[in-house]
């Protein structure tokens, strides 16, 4: 028996708390299913932090929020060795590792680009290796471990650039946009209800919240492993990624837009998220449409724009759209060995 209905309940439960941001909720769920970290970008006030908080309340496990600031240091994230008098075999004292907030099931790295690169890199080992090394000792992360980072646009004051190596550790880069008029009116009513004197001291979503267990999430990941990718779809994935590396094969304009293409990590991420998305939609295999829908979130933080794209304000999403127009869709008979 599939656990997909339980994951759908999880998604719907989070959406009741985050009105008008269905796509971001879907991407957060995909991140958990694909066992990958997510970077969310938008202007302040578009419910990025609220979305992560709502997700954490709907999943069994621990949650912690790290507010990134210019004075935050690595030890504030990973933890540090602390000396305790009277401990140890001789009673003279001993060092004991005190875990930092990174040691939780779901970690919100809030406004991650408000801290310098050295501090940002403190989460790098934990994200990639699922462990933290402090004073020569290795400390493992929990089995369910997800970093959900928010960032403000780089053009805003007080932000620091994120190193490419750090960016590449995120499975997806999700853009959070403004809600429409109807959704904004519903948001006003929801927040008004939450902040009313009667509801201030209680969680109004508690009775309707569907808490998903970690076992359900692990079972869902096992089912996703069985999702197949037809060879012609696999070929399409490869063609799209290779177009970012060798844009000169297509048009001079595309070449002028791209400084550096995506690495094989992008191909692996595209495959992983597409299989999770197919499973979430109730499909048994990945389609071309699914690849096209997921592609921008995979490349948004991996594709480095050229000077012409920056000068003319051509976004990575615009480049992805151009690539999708240039790359011919393969037929079902096509194979990677053609």
User: pLDDT per residue over 179-194, tens digit each?
Assistant: 888 888 888 888 888 7
Same domain as 65, residue 43: yes
Binned at pLDDT 50, 70 and 90, residue 336 comes out as very low
DSSP category for residue 179: -
Q: Are 133 and 100 in contact (CB under 8 A)?
A: no
Cα–Cα distance, 162 to 111 (Å, whole number)? 11
Percent of the chain with pLDDT over 90: 55
Q: Which domain covers residue 311, as residue numbers?
A: 227-326
**Does residue 160 lie in a domain region?**
yes
Q: Residue 162: what pLDDT?
A: 80
Same domain as 252, residue 158: no
207 has pLDDT over 80 = no
Cα–Cα distance, 233 to 291 (Å, whole number)? 8
Q: What is the pTM of this model?
A: 0.88
Closest CA to 218 of 145, 274, 161, 114: 145
51 has pLDDT over 70 = yes
104 has pLDDT over 60 = yes
Q: Residue 155: what pLDDT?
A: 64
Q: Residue 334: what pLDDT?
A: 52
**Does residue 317 lie in a domain region?**
yes
Same domain as 177, residue 57: yes
Same domain as 184, residue 42: yes
* Domain final position from 171, 186, 219: 219
Closest CA to 24 of 157, 179, 154: 179
More confident residue, 82 or 226: 226
Q: Residue 16: what pLDDT?
A: 87
Q: Are 38 and 148 in contact (CB under 8 A)?
A: yes
Same domain as 106, residue 244: no
Backbone angles phi, psi at 260, to 5 degrees: -140, 135
Q: Are 185 and 20 in contact (CB under 8 A)?
A: no
DSSP string of 311-326, one letter each residue: HTT--HHHHHHHHHHH
Percent of the chain with pLDDT over 70: 92
Q: Are 235 and 335 in contact (CB under 8 A)?
A: yes
Residue 19's CATH number? 3.40.50.300
Residue 249's CATH number? 1.10.8.80
The dihedral built from the CA positions of residue 72, 51, 185 and 42, taken in this order, carries a sign that is positive
């Amino acid at each position: 028996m599939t656990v997909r209905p339980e994951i759908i309940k999880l998604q719907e439960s989070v959406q009741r708390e985050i009105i008008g941001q269905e796509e971001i909720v879907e991407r957060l769920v995909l991140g958990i299913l694909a066992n990958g970290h997510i970077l969310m970008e938008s202007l302040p006030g578009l419910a990025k932090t609220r979305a992560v908080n709502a997700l954490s309340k709907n999943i069994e496990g621990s949650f912690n929020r790290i507010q990134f600031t210019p004075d935050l240091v690595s030890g504030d994230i990973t933890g540090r060795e602390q000396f305790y008098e009277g401990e140890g075999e001789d009673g003279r004292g001993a060092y004991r590792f005190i875990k930092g907030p990174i040691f939780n099931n779901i970690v919100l790295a809030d406004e991650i680009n408000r801290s310098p690169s050295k501090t940002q890199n403190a989460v790098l080992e934990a994200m990639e290796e699922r462990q933290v090394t402090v004073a020569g000792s290795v400390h493992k992360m929990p089995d369910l471990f997800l970093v959900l980072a928010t960032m403000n646009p780089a053009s805003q004051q007080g932000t620091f650039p994120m190193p490419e190596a750090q960016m590449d550790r995120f499975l997806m880069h999700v853009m959070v946009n403004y809600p429409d008029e109807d959704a904004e009116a519903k948001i006003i009513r929801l927040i008004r209800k939450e902040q009313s004197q009667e509801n201030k001291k209680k969680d109004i979503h508690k009775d309707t919240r569907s808490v998903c267990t970690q076992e359900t999430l692990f079972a869902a990941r096992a089912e996703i492993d069985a999702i197949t990718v037809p060879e012609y779809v696999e070929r399409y994935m490869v063609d799209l990624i290779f177009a970012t590396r060798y844009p000169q094969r297509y048009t001079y304009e595309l070449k002028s837009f791209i400084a550096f293409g995506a690495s094989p990590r992008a191909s692996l991420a595209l495959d992983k998220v597409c299989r999770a998305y197919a499973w979430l939609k109730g499909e048994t295999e990945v389609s071309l449409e699914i690849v096209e829908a997921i592609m921008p979130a995979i490349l948004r933080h991996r594709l480095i724009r050229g000077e012409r794209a920056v000068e003319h304000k051509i976004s990575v999403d615009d480049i992805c759209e151009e690539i999708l127009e240039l790359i011919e869709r393969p037929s079902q008979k096509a194979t990677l060995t053609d």
